[in-house]
Structure 1
Amino acid sequence: MQITVIVATLGRRAEADDLVEDLANQTRLPDRTIFAVTTEDDAPDRDSRIDNETLICTTKGLCAQRNAGLELAIGSSDIIVFFDDDFVPHPTYLARLEAAFDKSPDVVGMTGLVVADGVCGPGLTRVQAVSAISAHAEAYPTGYPRETDVNGLYGCNMAMRTSALGEKRFDERLPLYGWLEDLDLTNQLLGEGRLIKLDRLIGAHRGVKAGRVSGIRLGYSQIANARYLLAKGTTTRSQLYGHLVKYPMVNAVRSFRPEPFVDRRGRLRGNLIGLFDLALGKSKPEKILEL
């Protein structure tokens, strides 16, 4: 199998350099590694062990940068792996992934077990992420064998067969952070085969806050992107209705005593603008570029 790793990164040079090191330490090296950036300043140093490439993209945004990497790699790859720049994979990640795809030809996409996720808090240091991975690996030396069928893959670590991807791409109408872009694309793969969460693939998601969009923009995306994908029909209605109700409620309650690492009031303001536009029939994901 020809495995290509694609990483879209913006404003996180240190994290990108760390990921290069993690990929170079894989027991099964990637056949190709592409860092999709919008400026050379964001590009990690080249490592001769994986010969990582830098792709300069003309359009900024997670979907656009990932698509640019896809266009470069899809013709010569069997498996495309997407990692967030702040994801820390265990050294066996790619080896176990290849074995799992080889064993199950009906599986077209998979995601791993995130043993620690800094997105849910202030973020993890690299030491914390590595410690969490090491503790889990020590408890399960050959990996926890659970395999679960899912309706979508977690965007920080997800892999897809190029034969199933075909002409499917990330929707560039979901700009910047691309909220829900992972569910949008990977749900479409269900027509080609199974999607699974494989707990033998382990890593940690640091949830670094640098490089993320503003609170008001994210809050608007939480509403507008969910509404857009409901109309598009690429994800389950229950998932998206949950987004439309859940986030305004959570942001409203927590805005009274916001966490120091989350702009709750900005997110709530974005939610309210999104709901107002929704009521007027003017909701569109691209509006965050104007906010």
Structure 2
Amino acid sequence: MATLPASVVVVSRGRAGALTLCLTGLVQQDHPSFEIVVVADRPGLAALTAWEDRTGRTGQIKAVAFDEPNISVARNLGVEQAAGDVVAFIDDDAVPEPTWLRHLCAPFEESDTIHAAGGYVRGRNGISYQWRAQSVDRTGATVPIALDGDTPTALSPSPTQAIKVEGTNMAFRRATLAELGGFDPAYRYYLDETDLVMRLAARGGETAIVPLAEVHHGYLANATRNASRVPTDMTQIGASLAVFLRRHAPRHQIDAARARMRGDQRRRLLRHMVTGPLDPWGLQRILHSFDTGFEEGEARALETLPALPHAARPFQPIPRLADTPPLVLSGRSWQRGALMEQAARAVEEGRRVTVFCLSPTALYHRVRFVEPGIWLQTGGLFGRSDRDQPLFRVCGFASRVEKETRRISPQRGILA
């Protein structure tokens, strides 16, 4: 089975620090043939240059300057530079598991009928899932899809029900993206990828859901939310919803869909108000921004999307890491400094490294990817990692490390 060359597009605006961590994870991918395209503002491009100089990767990444608050235009600029047969997308505040791209691209290599693919997204603790499999209808309403096991599943949409993918973990055939005109610039933020899969559904293209194609999403602050994930403005959410409903929903369903989404957002804000970060005046102000945005979206021009051009530059593959097995290190919490020093040396040698650092407690586990490129899992020896486990369980250190290694081995590329 031939490996299709892949392009990974990263859009970054206002998060230069997160971008460099994402890039550190991307260059650890075990996919045999891929390039990286970064579309970023000036601070992001400066951080990219500094990262390239620091890591010895000067000139290896395609860079595009763009500093406007429009995710669709930014992604299209990335696609225009992408020369791979498959184009994957990841957010700048996300980090991919080392096997992410290989798993995500595999369905395209196995079947010509696959035109899109989406993986699973883990949340800020690195363990709980933020997103798995869903379908979406013409009003933007989603329904979970139950999948068994880790095997990729090819799903066929209907003209009214598409297979949803998440913008921080999705891939498309480049030819399909180009033919569809890429992402619609009318969606400056939110629902841009959902609009794309609805257009894909109209032409009948299959989508693969790939559970082992995992990214960890930091969900960092941006123009619409703060560092605590509390919304600060919903103008673009409301505007994008209006555009989406005008594009796809039957006219008689638009008012109900708007009311449903507004109700969902109000409940979301109420949860934040109950926990403290938001007051009633803030809630009303943010809901007003949703209403204002919806009215703005009703007035936006809906244009026909022209096909995207061929890649502007030749394929520029990222040099692969040395073909050595991943390294797993483990120790007690008081050994963390020595463990991290050993891990850093291994990263410099081109190894992919996982560190388990466990304390004699029942603390919940947390997984993070940290510079210079180390997967770090911390928590209590007796605490839980998967959130469906008991709060406390007695176990030995070696057996706990073995169990946790088995849990992450498919995504981390560790041979069982």
SS of residue in 1 equivalent to 2:21: helix
* Counterpart residue number, 1:268: 287
Q: Does 1:174 align with 2:187?
A: yes
Give the counterpart letter for 2:79 in structure 1: L
Deviation, structure 1 residue 246? 3.2
- 1:97-246 matches, within 5 Å, as 97-114=104-121, 116-117=122-123, 124=124, 128-129=125-126, 144-145=150-151, 147=153, 149=155, 151-167=163-179, 168-175=181-188, 178-190=189-201, 191=203, 193-212=205-224, 218-233=233-248, 244-246=258-260
Pick one of 2, 6, 14 that aligns with 1:3: 6
Q: Take 2:236 and 2:183, find their aligned partners in 1: how far apart are those partners?
A: 16
Q: Take 1:19 and 1:269, find their aligned partners in 2: how far apart are those partners?
A: 34
- The answer to whether the 8 Å contact 1:32/1:50 transfers is no
What 5-or-longer segments of structure 2 have no aligned partner? 130-148, 156-161, 302-416
Of the two structures, which has the highest relative contact order with CA contacts closer than 8 Å and spacing of 6 or more?
A: 1
Q: Take 2:120 and 2:36, find their aligned partners in 1: how far apart are those partners?
A: 22
Aligned CA-pair RMSD: 3.3
SS of residue in 2 equivalent to 1:179: coil
What's the CA shift string for 1:51-75, capped at 9, x where partnerless? 22221126442111111111122xx
Flag the 1:201–1:221 CA change in 2: closer, same or farther, 3 A.
same
* Counterpart residue number, 2:78: 69
Deviation, structure 1 residue 30? 5.1
Give the counterpart letter for 2:151 in structure 1: P
Q: Does 1:17 align with 2:24?
A: no
Pick one of 29, 38, 42 that aligns with 2:41: 38
SS of residue in 2 equivalent to 1:198: strand
SS of residue in 1 equivalent to 2:236: helix
TM-score, structure 2 normalization: 0.54
Give the counterpart letter for 2:150 in structure 1: Y
What's the CA shift string for 1:162-199, capped at 9, x where partnerless? 12122422111222xx1100101122223152012211
Q: Take 1:108 and 1:15, find their aligned partners in 2: how far apart are those partners?
A: 30
Flag the 1:181–1:236 CA change in 2: closer, same or farther, 3 A.
farther
Give the counterpart letter for 2:182 in structure 1: R
- The answer to whether the 8 Å contact 2:88/2:171 transfers is yes
Q: Take 1:238 and 1:203, find their aligned partners in 2: how far apart are those partners?
A: 38
SS of residue in 2 equivalent to 1:246: helix
- The answer to whether the 8 Å contact 2:30/2:102 transfers is yes
Flag the 1:209–1:237 CA change in 2: closer, same or farther, 3 A.
farther
Query: Bigger CA drift: 156-165 or 224-233?
Result: 224-233
Q: Does 1:84 align with 2:91?
A: yes
SS of residue in 1 equivalent to 2:234: helix
TM-score, structure 1 normalization: 0.75
Q: Take 1:187 and 1:98, find their aligned partners in 2: how far apart are those partners?
A: 21
* Counterpart residue number, 1:140: none
- The answer to whether the 8 Å contact 2:231/2:269 transfers is no
Deviation, structure 1 residue 217? 8.0
Q: Take 2:250 and 2:208, find their aligned partners in 1: how far apart are those partners?
A: 17
Flag the 1:52–1:247 CA change in 2: closer, same or farther, 3 A.
same
- The answer to whether the 8 Å contact 2:119/2:213 transfers is yes
What's the CA shift string for 1:93-115, capped at 9, x where partnerless? 1112232221122110000011x
- The answer to whether the 8 Å contact 1:222/1:243 transfers is no
Give the counterpart letter for 1:4 in structure 2: S
How many residues are paired up? 257
Give the counterpart letter for 2:174 in structure 1: T
Which has more radius of gyration?
A: 2
SS of residue in 2 equivalent to 1:144: coil
Q: Take 1:7 and 1:239, find their aligned partners in 2: how far apart are those partners?
A: 35
Deviation, structure 1 residue 271? 2.4
What 5-or-longer segments of structure 1 have no aligned partner? 118-123, 134-142, 287-291
Deviation, structure 1 residue 152? 2.7
Flag the 1:156–1:255 CA change in 2: closer, same or farther, 3 A.
closer
Q: Take 1:104 and 1:236, find their aligned partners in 2: how far apart are those partners?
A: 33
